[in-house]
Amino acid sequence: MNRNFRSAAFKPVLAVVLTLILSVAAFGQRTALKPGWNLFSPAQDVELGRQVAQDAERQLPMLNQRRVDDYLDRLGKRLAGYAPGEKYPYQFKCVNDASINAFALPGGFLYIHRGLIEAADNEAELAGVIGHEIGHVALRHGTNQASKQQLYQAPLAIFGGIMGNDSMAGALAQIGAAFTVNSILLKYSRDDEREADLIGSQILYDAGYDPRSMATFFEKLETGNRGTDFFSSHPNPDNRIRGIQQEIARLGPLPARAAVDSRDFQNIRRLLQSLPPAPQGTAAQQSQPGASTVPAASRPEPPSSRLRSYDSGYVRLQHPDNWRVYGEERDFALAPDGGIVTVGNEGALAYGGMMAVYEPVTRRGAAVSLKDATDQLVARLQRSNPGMRLMRDRGQIRVGGQVALSMEFVNGSPSGGQETDWLVTLVRPEGLVYFIFVAPEEEYASYRNMFQRIVQSVRF
């Protein structure tokens, strides 16, 4: 009797323990993400975001409807409670704009366009976009981009300590952080978008929503022209829907009563529909400054024959000791002083090289060949560089003991005239690793041997 009693009492305890173990195991499968390299501190994220938010609210047609802003703030702060990393003072407000869009400034200042709320069919769809924007804040994408821009445009000023003081005045002046929709703080890469999608799906799951609603809403935006405004400011990563669905599968079983909608959401949606129609497009969007090319800097000094070793943590290589390294582990540039010039609000490589990793599109999990992955990358590069054309295909070479492809292209140079681009690609477990080496067409011959020495020194 006593033994049976202990056994019966043990069973529910064992069931609870097994449930907890399985839950922890499922939780551990989610994609772990962390912020990239950054010159700013989290406190500076908040200060920078607050100053730019003040400028934004002077320019944008804010709805200023207390019920709507209170609802967004409650929903947003609930979701932000599940965000990883720094606990920012999040705030959420509505912009009276009919476009389907939203944006987030560093430090947790988020703005949701009225058109987005009206386009969502339920609260979970709205929460999915808000979770995505929270992902940009949590992963510090805005100031990560600004940090890269700072290094590309004014490395000597940064190393001189401009970023180290408590006031943001110097930083604001350096990155031109008055609010515009094409501010560097809102220029996310496709990798940034993919990471924000993953964080957003995790936040939805942890907050008790059905995370599939996020994929459903993005899929709806991809149909027709509904998502034009959103995707113009949020570059659409390859296989977006599949990436979200794969992350959902890693999160574990869906909650038995996952939230999809709420009475509050439907009440707010009806309130918005009862108001006069919102204008389409903000004043800030209508007055975006156009890109203009800054006159080219003086020609950099020739690459030194003395080499310096560089270990990014992902790859080791050697480069001329009069060149600098800008960037981080799998996304960096090598350039001499004056090798990076400013075009509009962006830094452009005119002399030197860069390395990055591209994730090719796959079909049903099948492996992509080196040639197919390279063709995909070239097509993508040519879409953003319409003047880029193949000059010669140099076939296979060896890089770090692996087979690689080598091609040379002609393209417009940011310093004026034409440039020669040498593209080298190879497949690694992380994706297609590619190197691009650049020099003006008339000077390329004097740089070619150094470019080859750098490639020959590569070790993974």
pLDDT in tens, 51-101: 899 889 988 999 999 999 999 999 999 999 999 999 999 999 999 999 999
Six-digit token string for 215: 């994929």
**Cβ atoms of 349 and 423 closer than 8 Å:** no
The residue ranges of every structural domain in the chain are: 31-286, 307-456
Helices (DSSP H) in 38-154: which residue ranges? 42-59, 66-80, 114-119, 123-138, 141-153
CA distance 193 to 188: 7
Residue 32 scores a pLDDT above 90: yes
pLDDT of residue 406: 98
Residue 255 scores a pLDDT above 70: yes
408 bridge partner residues: 392, 422
**Cβ atoms of 56 and 112 closer than 8 Å:** no
| Per-residue confidence band for 120, with pLDDT thresholds at 50, 70 and 90 | very high
Mean pLDDT of 214-232: 76
Percent of the chain with pLDDT over 90: 56
Between residues 303 and 173, the one the model is more confident about = 303
pLDDT in tens, 302-358: 999 999 999 999 999 999 999 988 777 888 889 998 887 766 545 678 899 999 888
CA distance 104 to 52: 11
Six-digit token string for 251: 């999160």
pTM of the model: 0.58
Question: Is 307-456 assigned to CATH 3.40.50.1970?
Answer: no
Residues in the chain: 460
DSSP-derived 3-state class of residue 356: strand
The full DSSP string for 102-120 is EEEETTTEEEEEHHHHHH-
Percent of the chain with pLDDT over 70: 78
DSSP-derived 3-state class of residue 368: coil
Across the chain, what does the average pLDDT equal? 82
pLDDT of residue 237: 76
Closest CA to 122 of 216, 243, 234, 199: 216
CA distance 421 to 440: 9
pLDDT of residue 116: 95
Spell out the residues 6+ positions from residue 400 whose beta carbon is closer than 8 angstroms to its own: 315, 426, 458, 459, 460
CA distance 340 to 351: 7
**Cβ atoms of 102 and 120 closer than 8 Å:** no
